[in-house]
Amino acid sequence: MGITMSTMDTDVAIVGNGPIGAALSVLLAQRGWRVTVLERRPRPYLLPRATSFDGETARLLAATGIGADFGRITEPATGYQWRTAAGRTLLDISFSPQGRYGWPDANTMHQPALEELLAARAASLPGITVLRGHRVVDISEHEERVTLTVEGDGETPRTVRARWVVGCDGANSFVREHLGVPVTDLGFSYEWLLCDVELHEPREFTPTNVQICDPARPTTLVGSGPGHRRWEFMRLPGESSAELNKEETAWRLLKPFGVTPDTATLLRSTTYIFRATWADEWRTGRVLLAGDAAHLMPPFAGQGMCSGIRDATNLAWKLDLTLRGLADASVLDTYGQERRQHVKESILSSVQLGRVICVTDPEAAADRDATVLAGRRGRTGPEQPEPAKPLSAGLLRRPSADPAEPPAGAVVPQGRVSVQGDTGLFDEIVGWGFVLLTADDLRPALGEDRWSFLGALGTHVVRLLPPGAAAGTGQDLTDAIDVDGFYRAYLDEHHATAVLIRPDYHVFGAANGPEDTAALIDDLRGRLGASAPAGAVNRAA
């Protein structure tokens, strides 16, 4: 008898169940979609890879419903400092425990703990099916569907039919290779020994993260969540990988930092080679790429996993609108347009930082130190982290031929609001999705058609009121007390009375006055390219 192949249908198939695939599955399932996740590993991977995420990424991860548990698995980082071999400061950044996006500027974490949170959240949602120990071996696209051929250990081969497929299957992505997507490789790579340790007793490291720019051995020290820490040591010219990749070598290099078998458990020591690459295409028909399948970067800016979570968030809301018929499929082209340029800038920045630290020639290191120290002359105190990088192209309002006007493309900061007696961070009180934030009562100006469009998108229309004002309730909008005057100041800064914010917290565009706000909404509808049916506007609860 021949083998009978079972078939399952799903809205979105995700290949890979790392943090990017898991976050994407949750964001889609929260919107009511059936999601099938195919993971080749039969069990969760229990060793850490990423060690931190920034405040913007914390906000994005919180939208999956796991933010309340961050205090259990993360610790805020106090700062990031680069030092010469002699201990002089080359770069000094101070992190705030309450950053501009409502979360600590930098959050150290043990990646397996983060993945456990995402797995528990996924298990609580009825729309998600996770198939572990299942490897995708073929992909074929049809007019309205993609068919995946899947092999599982000891199981009958099966097919998964999906309306859309997302490859989140890592650096050696089968999905990317199968599609034949070309990759840009900057050729910047070095080999490092990575040592993850669990400390036997609490220790304070100030600042939390340090780069030692010592030509005798460039070294990285970073926090990785409660009770955990990572050291990384660069392989030197002429040094063999085999010799570096020995446990006794790890302990020898860790000893000067007070890390010995008596003070810590070595969870892992292994060499790895970082790369600087990005996929040239992020969408081929109904198949898309995200995370390490789409980009790899040196670790020095801490943006690898953060970039992948941004991918997942950007893609989730665009897939949601496309699946609901509220946006033309061409909107998914803006995913690659926005994220590829964004990631490219992060990679180039990481490479630039890498060229500073990966110096093993003593004379070149001395020249570097002198140049950087001369540039720092006269500075007092640490710097603040830069805001999240804005989008420079894509699904944004462009009122003229000029580049997008501020704040279009920027990530909107987060303050506190109060709605019907509940006070807290804006995202917690208002919720996830499109937000039209306004200082005006727009009900008379927008007309029934625009209200229906906003309702179909699930838009939260929020009217800001000053502290002490009497908040009303209405079917179309929510009155929110601007507790600290944060958002009124934000609107004033940009000479706007309204901003339209995308579900990934990037500002679609700003408007000044009711008529301009109406034009802003029309612009979004035109760019989505599909007519929206009538619906009720979401209200904060």
- Using one digit for the tens of pLDDT, what is the confidence trace for 368-404? 999 999 988 877 778 999 999 999 899 999 755 454 4
Nearest-angstrom CA–CA distance, 336 and 6: 33
Write down the pLDDT at residue 69: 97
Nearest-angstrom CA–CA distance, 203 and 199: 8
Question: Are 316 and 25 within 8 A, CB to CB?
Answer: no
Overall average pLDDT of the 326-340 stretch: 97
If residue 134 lies in a helix (H) or strand (E), which one and from where to where? strand 134-141
Overall average pLDDT of the 123-144 stretch: 95
Rg over alpha carbons for the chain, rounded to the nearest Å, is 24
Q: 370 to each of 82, 88, 89, 211, 422, how far by Cα in Å?
A: 14, 11, 11, 17, 54
Residue 15 has phi, psi (to 5 degrees) of -95, 110
Overall average pLDDT of the 326-353 stretch: 96
Nearest-angstrom CA–CA distance, 445 and 428: 28
Q: Does pTM top 0.85 for this prediction? A: yes
Write down the pLDDT at residue 401: 46
Q: What residue ranges define each of the domains in the chain, with the CATH number in brackets? A: 6-51+110-185+276-349 (3.50.50.60), 74-108+190-273+359-389 (3.30.9.10), 416-528 (3.40.30.10)
User: Considering only CA atoms, which of 347, 327, 214 is closest in space to residue 279?
Assistant: 347
